[in-house]
Structure 1
């Protein structure tokens, strides 16, 4: 059983935000899961990480959740962005509905299979459904066509393929599959 506290990041935790992101980008499957490299992330100035942590802690349109072990180490993270209908998404496409978008899913390899990912997703979905304005109709994420382990987790958790397939940003020869989790009926 997992002995972690799942909680939102705090604005002053930028160094831990940076450290976990660099660990995630160094994972052997990072090329499938992320759109940046460890080298490019490591070159970003402290101000970037400070702004990122502050936005993820205090922003109305984004929240980052972490799995914190008893010793203070962060063993996993997920971030959810609010995409408002009519706004442009990360591909500069117009968003058709108010929705959440999960990104940055990572759990340290030695902690995978312990329930941390489930707990992080639960926290992200609870935050999404509690979001007052706009009311989010669904939460989506994208998974690389070759990332079978992640796709299996998303389906087990309750995400369903929407049928939308896009080229991976920066690599048009690879495909990203959209998965969605509809807002539960009240």
Structure 2
């Protein structure tokens, strides 16, 4: 499959909306996303415009969204990264001890799975994290449902390891796991 990885542009809200809605229709969406298709499809255009601006190169800088674009212009995958500051409460309610980034919104269309798209998306996202001068990111994390074996296997293959943090969910015995990769040591 021929594709390129790039940062989302602020004017691409319609394509961003379409890809998110496709992600929310995936058979494991209930394990992978904090959103539902019904809620997302009902949101006004202004929501998608703001969301897209926030993750674009034109955004405030605390969020960056990457897309995999096929040669025909169709988006086949996406990943977003949220910068989380040390000592500040995150969207998820925890307070990191170090400057970190949080990978969210991971999705690759069925037809692109196994083609290297996820590897390229993660490489771009993690490289962006390490490139930040302020804050200097110490680690990149993600949270994955304990029953989402497909995602866990992909994250391990990409160099992420379980940290031992388990987040209980509302259902008894159901949980999410934190995975992370640490900033490489400087050479020289």
| Same fold, judged at TM 0.5 (above) | yes
In structure 1, C-alpha distance between the alignment counterparts of 2:171 and 2:140, rounded to whole Å: 24
Question: Deviation string for 1:15-70 (max 9, x for gaps)?
Answer: 01100000000000101100110000111111110001101012211100000001
- 1:87 is displaced (CA, Å) by 1.1
* 2:180 matched residue in structure 1: 180
* 2:67 matched residue in structure 1: 66
- TM-score normalised according to structure 2 size: 0.95
* 1:44 matched residue in structure 2: 43
* 2:23 matched residue in structure 1: 24
* 1:151 matched residue in structure 2: 152
- 1:110 is displaced (CA, Å) by 1.3
The 3-state SS of whatever aligns with 1:44 is: coil
Moved over 4 A (4+): 170-173
CA RMSD, 1 decimal: 1.1
- 1:119 is displaced (CA, Å) by 0.1
Distance 1:93 1:74, change over 3 A: same
1:51-130 mapped onto 2 (5 Å cutoff): 51-57=50-56, 58-130=59-131
- 1:129 is displaced (CA, Å) by 0.3
In structure 2, C-alpha distance between the alignment counterparts of 1:165 and 1:7, rounded to whole Å: 32
Q: Structure 1 regions of 5+ residues with no counterpart?
A: none
The 3-state SS of whatever aligns with 2:98 is: coil
* 2:164 matched residue in structure 1: 163
In structure 2, C-alpha distance between the alignment counterparts of 1:148 and 1:155, rounded to whole Å: 11
- TM-score normalised according to structure 1 size: 0.96
Q: Structure 2 regions of 5+ residues with no counterpart?
A: none
- 1:132 is displaced (CA, Å) by 1.2
In structure 2, C-alpha distance between the alignment counterparts of 1:17 and 1:89, rounded to whole Å: 24
In structure 1, C-alpha distance between the alignment counterparts of 2:155 and 2:20, rounded to whole Å: 21
Question: Deviation string for 1:73-124 (max 9, x for gaps)?
Answer: 0000000000000111122222221000000000001110000000000000
